[in-house]
Amino acid sequence: MSTVLTLAALTLREASRRRVLLALGAMTAVLLTLSAWGFSRLADEAVTTGEARLTASIVLNLVMFGYSLIAALGTAFLAGPTLAGETESGLALSVLARPIRRAQFLAGKWLGLVAFGSGFVALAGLAQCAVVYATVGYWPPDPLTGVALLAAQTTVLLTLAVLLSTVISPMASGVVAVGLFCTTWVAGVVGGLGTAVGNEAVARVGSVSRMLLPTDGLWRGAMHAFQDPTSIVEISGGAEAEAFPFLSVAPLTLGYLAWAVVWVAMVWGVAAMSFGRKDL
């Protein structure tokens, strides 16, 4: 266990030195600045306090999706060079020449990347909540659950990127991981439209996609934690709210959370087997 933690700490230190951290910080600063200006204008234009809260709730979900996309891009393209890059350069072979099993090496790398991605999402998400509160006076009903689910979404995508990096090139693994992330989100929007119009076949597209890759399901749970509880009633009060891509009708179930944990464990297990058979 100490070996895994040591490798995780080294991976976290290495990730903090890469230009990816600088890029993430710059994009986050830009998004925080723009959102602060936008929310301040929103507060000035709102007619009533309730209207400001409702609009801020929806726009907050939109901005949080921006952070989830930034985290997806950053962690997916960081996982490839961290694992596959070290494999191709021969650095991994020099480490594994010592009494360190490949599974320990992979676990340490994965744990360090998860700490990096989750930490970024948590800090950025809470900073955004503080910006919204300072400008509009709106504080989400359950921000800790929201940022925790965003961190879980990052973990899911990062685990997929680690698996892909054991079989394809670093750049390709990042492209495929982000492509699947975006595809699943679009499928979720399509499924929501199907639910809104009563088309079960189209609605099933979103349900199936969320099972195959839990990123969109976790994102919808995070949205529900950030949004104003009255937003669903104010907008439609019915299934039509599913058609709005930045509203979530119901909170995440414990069963789905359990599936996300099982999914991560299964994909990590496949990644460990793939890395164990990889010719270094």
Residue type, 200: E
48: containing domain: 2-277
Count of domains for the chain: 1
Q: Show pLDDT as tens, one digit a residue, over the chain (280 residues).
A: 677 777 778 777 776 666 777 777 888 888 889 888 888 887 666 556 667 777 888 888 888 988 888 887 777 777 766 666 555 555 555 555 566 777 888 888 888 888 888 888 889 999 999 999 988 888 898 999 999 999 999 999 989 988 888 888 777 888 888 889 999 999 988 888 888 777 888 888 888 999 999 999 999 999 989 988 776 666 655 556 666 778 887 888 999 999 999 999 999 999 988 887 766 5
Alpha-carbon distance of 131 to 37, in angstroms, equals 10
Cα 266 from Cα 217, distance rounded (Å):
18
